[in-house]
Amino acid sequence: MRDRLESPRLSLRERERRWAAVRRAMRERGLECLVLFGSPSNWDFTVANARYLAPIGGNAAFNVLVFPLEGEPTSFVFRPTFVEYWKRAQDWVVDVRARKGPWAQSVASRLKELGLEKAAIGLDGLAGPLDPDGWLPHSVYAGLRELRPSAQLVNTDDMLERLRSIKNTEEIQVLEQAARLGDLMLAACRERARPGVRECEVYGKMMEVMLANGGEEPTLFLWAADASPFPHPFRLPTMRPLARGDLIICEIHPKYGGYFTHVERTFSLGGARSRVPEDLRGLSGGLRDGAGILPAGPEDHRGDERCEGCHHRPGPRHVRDRDPRPRPGLAGVSALPPPRPRGGREGAAFHR
């Protein structure tokens, strides 16, 4: 087996920057260790905190990270057969182990090795600002309370998410790679979507292009195709052949090295409905009103509720390009143009 796998990587210098920033935040909160429960769900969103410090993730991989204030971190993966792969796919964390028994038992054993049986331990995945329900299983929390009764278990809230939201140059370069994958996926849709071609074939071609150019799964890809689609894309395509007059609505998160960009695009297979221009006028009004309601600053999960009344009827809420002017496509397939690109810069804040 090769000693080093050809996976997207960030530098060791970036590792040191992140570890130092997180440890500063730990000291401010009086935390002696973090336990980040990277359990894959919600398109791997719930692995992001652990992956930020130990780049193990993608393809629904577990990454349960014990990150002490001092000393080397330990990443627990799901099975022994995964250990050697992850030692070669990343070079940030040397101590990669398979879990033994329940997750709580593995974590508690490592805390004992570190002499942290009575420490203040920060846990992510508990109910917090970005997820009112959390994702840490009750069995893990209860197990840690039972096995390490003298430890103080502390909710990290959005500590990691706030640190993650500030992107540096290396991260922006990875995001640009993810954006390039999005361009390739949209081009694949324009080239493949034709009357008579099944929805699932177009969807599959778009996924193929992303994976064949270094992308990873799982990633969000919502889809709808119909002459009059519902207000938001479905999760999966059907086996129905496309027909002239269909609208294809895509919401995609092309992902590269754990970073994704957000792309939404609507395609028309010719013979578009006569009310499309009217829909787009409604869309433009909704965007203007929504921009006026949402303030600058941290992400607020109530934003959708505030903007719910901003869509102007008539007009679908799912078409979100800013420029309402149609652009000619190939063989009768047309697509709305994307928003004007805005160059990323170091220190810029991003959602998630």
∠ Cα 193 195 197 (to 5°): 60
Q: Which residues of the chain have pLDDT under 70?
A: 272-283, 286, 294-352
Position 69 scores a pLDDT of 98
Task: For residue range 171-212, list pLDDT tens digits in order.
Answer: 999 999 999 999 999 999 999 999 999 999 999 999 999 999
Position 266 scores a pLDDT of 92
Position 285 scores a pLDDT of 73
Position 321 scores a pLDDT of 36
Tokens 């508690």 locate to 108
Q: What are the residue ranges spanned by the domains of the chain?
A: 12-166, 168-294+302-338
Rounded to two decimals, the pTM is 0.81
Is 324:336 a contact under the CB 8 Å cutoff?
yes
Sequence-distant (6+) residues with CB within 8 A of 230 are 224
Position 129 scores a pLDDT of 77
Fold topology of 168-294+302-338: Creatine Amidinohydrolase (3.90.230)
Position 99 scores a pLDDT of 96
Position 281 scores a pLDDT of 66
Position 126 scores a pLDDT of 96
Position 236 scores a pLDDT of 86
Position 1 scores a pLDDT of 82
Strands 152-155 and 263-269: unpaired
Q: Which residues of 262-287 are buried (b: 16+ CB within 10 A; e: fewer)?
A: ebbbbbbbeebeeebeebbebbbebb
For the domain bounded by 12-166, which CATH number is listed?
3.40.350.10
